[in-house]
Amino acid sequence: MRRVVITGLGVVSPIGCGRDAYWGALSEGRNGVGGITLFNTEGHTARIAAEVRGFDVEPWLDKKEARRTDRVIHFVIPASDMALKDSGIDLGSVDPNKFGVYIGSGEGGITTTHENYDILKEKGPSRVSPFFVPMMLSNMPAAYVAMRFGAKGPNMAVVTACSTATHCMGEAAYAIIRDDADIMLVGGVEAAITPIAIAGFANMKALSTRNDEPEKASRPFDLDRDGFVMGEGAGILLFEELEHAKKRGAHIYAEVTGYGNTCDAYHITAPDPEGDGSIRAMRTAMKKAGWNPEQVDLYNAHGTSTPLNDKTESGAIRAVFGSHAGKLPVHSTKSMIGHCLGAAGAVETIAALLAVERGVIHPTINYEKPDPECNINVVANSAIERRVDRALINNAGFGGHNGVLAIERLRD
């Protein structure tokens, strides 16, 4: 069977852009949450987010192109370019028909939607941008990346809320295994820090309102958590068929060895309290990888900092890993970068891959008061040095979608 490896990483995040800047901030436990600057928060109950601040898109998009594209494009093109450059691949030597793109976005071009609705109300239908529709579509990041880099192979934008990027990665691995593609740019992108999105999530009591202490707001598995913090950014990875990568002497971060995809079929927003869908997705990914629970060295948690998710996920970890749950290092990248929604699985997989490569597990910051109902082995507040050969990345989305990816240090 064809094997799938990861050879390139690109990231735009609230704590750093590019692999090394991102990793440096993660390993230091640097906080990326602050007061919202992208819009006037007067009247909002949640006034904090993890924004990508001071990022200049002009090296990748000229001013005219930037005006005609949504903020998701401003993130996804640079992250994709970073992943390709990190891989060292020569696209001129790649068959474009075997070069695919699976990149999703949970909210799509929501900034464009919000802005053009305001224009419609204030100035009438004739003033709505002719670029509105292509700017707001959730498939446009995948399409735009394909056009920019000449990828004529399989192209898809999975949209499963906060499992989006994980499902994009898992399905992309299958595309390579079945010989539809040799290389795939995969991952997710999100730019949903907008008045309507913040208000909507806040009104359903999902967001933290720790506005006076934004640096303390995202606190997965902590007893005093009060909701997630909205994040934004893009995580893009280059997946490649193993022999294709070896032939060109590529640096290989790890191999994708398992993938689980299930649904709770329970509730539009709440997870199944028994964690059934998450448990089945984890077990499926590990079965496909050929792992026993005791062989897993790192669990990158969905870890949203919401009361329901963290409690349910902790129960699922104990159910899947049994006695090993007390030893298994668990961390949440969201403690530093907030919840990047459809991009979450990709930026978190990048964190896990760098743990495999560098032997350091980044911390879960703001873990100050352990929740007895989240009785797991949280890597708290400081990074630890630990060899990581196998890592499991878990994500869950509204609607009951569960996605789990298993990655492993390449075996000889």
74, 339, 362, 401: which one is catalytic?
339
Per the CB < 8 A criterion, the answer to whether 191 and 110 are in contact is yes
Q: Which residues contact 335 (CB under 8 A, 6 or more apart)?
A: 218, 219, 220, 303, 305, 363, 364, 365, 366, 367
Q: Residues 44, 74, 162, 168: which is the catalytic one?
A: 162
Does 324 qualify as catalytic in the annotation? no
Question: Beta strand 183-190 with 99-104: parallel, antiparallel or unpaired?
Answer: parallel
Active site (annotated) includes residue 339? yes
Residue 267 designated active-site: no
Of 244, 302, 331, 362, the catalytic one is 302
> CB-based burial of residue 130 (10 Å sphere; 0-12 exposed, 13-18 middle, 19+ buried)?
exposed
Catalytic residues: 162, 302, 339
